[in-house]
Amino acid sequence: MLCDSKSMAHATAQPYHDYPYDMRPLPYPAPPPASHSPAGHFHPSNPTVGLHSPYYLQHYTHPPPPAPIVHVNPQQQKINTLFVSGLPDDVKAREIHNLFRRHHGFDSCQLEYTGRGNQVVAFATFINHHSAVAAMGALDRTIFDPETRATLHIELARSNSKKRSRGGSAYVVIDKRAKVQEDDQNDWTDDGDVGSDESSDTENDNSRNKGALAATQSGEEEGKLVNGGAALDSEKTTQNIPPCSTLFIANLGPNCSEAELNKVLSKFSGFQTLKMRAKWGMPVAFADFEDVESSTAAMESLEGTLLDSSDRGGMHIEYARSKMRRN
DNA sequence: AGCACA
């Protein structure tokens, strides 16, 4: 099954859609004079004047690192790819591209939905190790979203991306989430091992990576597989709980009420019963639906949703291990 | 990472 990146956009609230990109021409290959970068005297209220980078990419908390002098071991000196974490889960590949493109030696980038919750990571490839390190020094700890203060963590990747910039595809989206078309609910068992075992960091084995979906702009290259899985060490697979018409809801705030949850769930067709109980003082809930289709739809659209009572992030929803007893 | 009720 092929999915394009757009169909992956989720229905959750995305308040940062109109993220103010800086579309000014890139400063390369003619960088602006250094005198116009008053690093220490940066005024958020006047974001455009004399700045090398847009204001939201400036370091709010720390002054810019003096020089990206980083001591790396000989292995790392061959790495020209950066690993980016700390991204908000509604980040777009385009945003990653616009983040890195103005840095010298940038080649291309990839956005990867790891399949673990809504976690998103990215890889940015440079023409050589030096430019990668320079960009890392410039962008690590960048506050990516001033609203949430989501802060990027950028490090050298464990291995180089095999992505080539041939054909000019600016960025690539890799989606390891176990998403399924609406029409086939039989695929749920184990026809493939999507996201199950990505431990191989091989440089020369693309053979059995059908699970990962790569959507390119050029639409031409097929076998480009990100070896980025190597950078996510020892990921546990997501649930292998079979589909169930009852959902298990966790990560609720201590003050979450049955009424509050009921209100949210009632918007979904097929919703029948809600039962809550506390575990370690924290409430969990079981929501029963008339069939697996409706429970699945509710789960997919509510996963990660924040309630008013949420204090530990959004709800986490899985299929329950057993169906709710119907009375 | 946490899964009850019968």
* Domain extents in chain A: 1-238, 246-319
Topology, domain A1-238: Alpha-Beta Plaits (3.30.70)
- The separation, in Å, between residue A325 CA and nucleotide B6 C1' comes to 6
Q: Hey, what long-range contacts does A257-264 have (CB within 8 A, 24 or more apart)?
A: A257/A309, A258/A285, A260/A307, A260/A308, A260/A309, A261/A285, A261/A287, A261/A307, A264/A302, A264/A305, A264/A307
- Tens of pLDDT, residue by residue over A12-42, are 333 333 333 344 444 444 444 444 434 434 3
How far apart CA A202 and CA A179 sit, in angstroms, is: 26
Statement: the CB of A284 is under 7 Å from strand B: yes
Q: What is the pLDDT of residue A41?
A: 41
Nucleotide at minimal C1' distance from the A244 CA = B3
CB-based contacts of A2, cutoff 8 Å, min separation 6: A213, A215
Checking if the pLDDT of A101 tops 70, the result is: yes
- The separation, in Å, between residue A11 CA and nucleotide B4 C1' comes to 30
A201 or A105: which leads in pLDDT? A105
Statement: the CB of A112 is under 7 Å from strand B: no
A105 or A20: which leads in pLDDT? A105
Percent over 90 (pLDDT), chain A? 40
Locus of tokens 């720390």: A62
Q: What is the pLDDT of residue A12?
A: 36
Q: What is the mean pLDDT of residues A58-74?
A: 51
Q: What is the mean pLDDT of residues A140-159?
A: 88
Does the structural domain A246-319 have CATH classification 3.30.70.330? Answer: yes
Checking if the pLDDT of A51 tops 80, the result is: no
Checking if the pLDDT of A162 tops 50, the result is: yes
Q: What is the mean pLDDT of residues A174-194?
A: 52
Please return the burial class of A288, using the count of CB atoms within 10 Å of its CB with bins 0-12, 13-18 and 19+: buried
Statement: the CB of A288 is under 7 Å from strand B: yes
- Tens of pLDDT, residue by residue over A242-273, are 899 999 999 999 999 999 999 999 999 999 99
Which nucleotides of strand B lie within 7 A of protein CB?
Answer: 1-6
A179: pLDDT confidence band, cut at 50, 70 and 90?
A: low
How far apart CA A12 and CA A88 sit, in angstroms, is: 13
- Tens of pLDDT, residue by residue over A117-141, are 888 999 999 999 999 999 999 999 8
Q: What is the mean pLDDT of residues A51-63?
A: 43
CB-based contacts of A327, cutoff 8 Å, min separation 6: none
Q: What is the pLDDT of residue A27?
A: 44
Nearest-CA residue relative to C1' of B2: A250
- Same-fold call for A1-238 versus A246-319: yes
Nucleotide at minimal C1' distance from the A241 CA = B3
User: Residue A29: which of A99, A101, A124 has the closest Cα?
Assistant: A101
Q: What is the pLDDT of residue A258?
A: 95
Locus of tokens 């021409």: A25
How far apart CA A45 and CA A3 sit, in angstroms, is: 41
